[in-house]
Amino acid sequence: MNKALLESFFRHLGQYVTLSEEEFHDILSFFEERNLAKKEILMHAGGPCTHTHVVLKGCLHMYFVNEKGVERTVQFALENWWLTDLLAFQNKANTDFSIQAVEKSEVLSISLDQQGQLLEKYPQLERYFRLIYQTAYGASIMKMKYLSDFSKEEIYFHFTEHYPKFAQRVPQYLIASFLGLTPEYVSEIRAKKRS
Amino acid sequence: MNKALLESFFRHLGQYVTLSEEEFHDILSFFEERNLAKKEILMHAGGPCTHTHVVLKGCLHMYFVNEKGVERTVQFALENWWLTDLLAFQNKANTDFSIQAVEKSEVLSISLDQQGQLLEKYPQLERYFRLIYQTAYGASIMKMKYLSDFSKEEIYFHFTEHYPKFAQRVPQYLIASFLGLTPEYVSEIRAKKRS
């Protein structure tokens, strides 16, 4: 895998825990590297959820297809973000979600057993994962507030103002899906704002 | 604090980490004990979010008041569940949420600084918090799926079937608030089911 990407991941981990370069390279041996084409599926709804994934380059989204056949994105992951169906992952169960590459992506994937062995060998990584999940959980509580408090229009503009990186990189129809809006509605309010 | 409650909390922690009784009593010294009357407010929206709380007995809920003046519950906590506005807590910021006792409750509260010192002295608790947040985050992703996938009626009956302990203990209007339903609607679908 590209050296610059691994260095970026090393710096990311270094924000949370102290690791030597040697330890980092040993840690990488617990992971599988995957290169994904744009739109490639990494996890299939209905199948087992065997791995959790961290994005080194690119963007993933996790979604389900609702009863009307409409795709609904529940989570995105850009660089250094983790993504999986955590409940299915920790129970080694089947998942209702799919994970797909939004753009050409490079990810590191780890199984529950490998993660268990990794954390046994490097217990300092417990702190890293604790902080990652703490923030993700906190953000999901905040998202629930926005979704139920804001008007549809406010939800869209709040999101694009607070996460401009996402708004620039991710196709509008996926942002719409994540916010529970239709692509048509998003086109309409963007046109209204421009005019 | 009641000895049986502390023993129950000790057993709860013991499911995740190995601790001696002596360590457990030292750990308790990092917390403040609070006895809350029914409906007592533990955290006020607009004020600082200084502590995270674990319920030893009773039930808390965290809510905000939306623009229409309606209370919306975003999270409950029964025994051995933690509750706070995590983003505000970790940033020592003001919160948009309030926390209130649903029934007479006994809780342990810890500040961010005290939690930092606790985790420095007992790094094995990183694992405990990692698993707590991992499950909570996984569950919040699943909740987003239910809220956007199910009909209002399905949301209500799914919740009461999967969390019968909650459904028995928590007033119907709070369950309605948590699920984004009105109390009137919940009364209506319950009456329809009984008939």
Q: Tokens representing B188?
A: 């209506």
Binary contact (B87, A145; C-beta < 8 A) = no
Chain B residues inside the 8 Å CB shell of A126 = 123, 126-127, 130
| Euclidean distance between CA atoms A62 and A82, whole angstroms | 11
The alpha-carbon gap from A61 to the nearest alpha carbon of chain B, in Å, equals 13
What is the value of pTM for the model shown?
A: 0.92
* Chain A residues with a Cβ under 8 Å from any Cβ in chain B: 62, 64, 66-67, 72, 74-75, 85-87, 89-90, 96-97, 119, 123-124, 126-127, 129-130, 133-145, 148-149, 180
Chain B residues inside the 8 Å CB shell of A153 = none
Token match 């006792």: residue?
B101
Q: Which CATH superfamily is domain B3-142 in?
A: Jelly Rolls (2.60.120.10)
| Euclidean distance between CA atoms B153 and B70, whole angstroms | 21
* Nearest beta carbon to residue A138 from set B90, B134, B142: B90
- Over the stretch A61-114, which tens digit does the pLDDT of each residue have? 999 998 888 899 999 999 999 999 999 999 999 999 999 999 999 999 999 999
CA distances, B135 to each of A154, B50, B126, B145, B194 (Å): 30, 23, 14, 15, 34
- Residue A169 belongs to what H/E stretch? helix A164-169
Q: In what order do the strands lie in the sheet with A41-43?
A: A41-43, A98-101, A60-65, A71-77
Alpha helices, H only, chain B: 3-14, 21-28, 86-90, 112-121, 125-149, 152-162, 164-169, 172-179, 183-194
Phi, psi of A58 (to 5 degrees): 105, -155
Q: B145-174 burial string, b = 16+ CB within 10 Å, else e?
A: bebbbbeeeebbeebbeeeeebeebbeebb
Q: Tokens representing B147?
A: 């809220």
The alpha-carbon gap from A88 to the nearest alpha carbon of chain B, in Å, equals 8
Contacts of B96 (CB under 8 A, 6+ apart): A145, B45, B46, B64, B85, B88
* Chain B residues with a Cβ under 8 Å from any Cβ in chain A: 62, 64, 66-67, 72, 74-75, 85-87, 89-90, 96-97, 119, 123-124, 126-127, 129-130, 133-145, 148-149, 180
Binary contact (A135, B90; C-beta < 8 A) = yes
Identify the bridge partners of residue B110 per DSSP, sorted by sequence position.
Answer: B52
Chain B residues inside the 8 Å CB shell of A133 = 130, 133-134, 136-137
Q: Please state the ipTM of this predicted complex.
A: 0.91
CA distances, B20 to each of A38, B3, B13, B24, B126 (Å): 51, 16, 11, 6, 17
Binary contact (A123, B127; C-beta < 8 A) = yes
- Over the stretch B89-134, which tens digit does the pLDDT of each residue have? 999 999 999 999 999 999 999 999 999 999 999 999 999 999 999 9
Chain A residues inside the 8 Å CB shell of B135 = 86-87, 90
Binary contact (A141, B140; C-beta < 8 A) = yes
The residues spanned by each domain of chain A are 3-142, 150-195
Q: In A5-59, where do the E strands start and end?
A: 32-36, 41-43, 51-57
Per residue of chain B (195 residues), give pLDDT as tens.
789 999 999 999 999 999 999 999 999 999 999 999 999 999 999 999 999 999 999 999 999 998 888 899 999 999 999 999 999 999 999 999 999 999 999 999 999 999 999 999 999 999 999 999 999 999 999 988 888 778 888 888 888 898 888 888 888 889 888 888 888 988 898 888 888
